[in-house]
Structure 1
């Protein structure tokens, strides 16, 4: 279980999968790996910070944060507030 990522504490319900040195896929560990609803977001580092694309059924949101901790917090807060089927 990942408890921190790049020195940032991580909610155990988030799985961070490196795609490249500057991009990550974020999944919800409480959802079956075969359920597409478990894919929460993508994060990509750019020169100004972090671009975040958050995915929910029927909704895609994008945001920009200045640090990785803020990006993960944003994703986790959206995950916590998402209605469960």
Structure 2
């Protein structure tokens, strides 16, 4: 997500021709966007990062559910 926000901010600053981005070519920003696309569509899946995040989230939910279940039985 930070990569997408950075691309958006850089595009906006380049469009408005602010500061150091005025002489920078649009190809650098387009290249960054292509890199982000390739990362999220291919490399993240190849490395298993998308599944790892999902598993960690569901594991946390499972532990919280078990904890709530045992806490309510004790009362």
Q: Same fold (TM over 0.5)?
A: no
Please state which structure has a larger fraction of its residues in helix. Answer: 2
- Considering Cα pairs closer than 8 Å and 6+ residues apart, tell me whether 1 or 2 has the greater RCO: 2
TM-score, reference length from structure 1: 0.28
Q: TM-score, normalised by structure 2?
A: 0.31
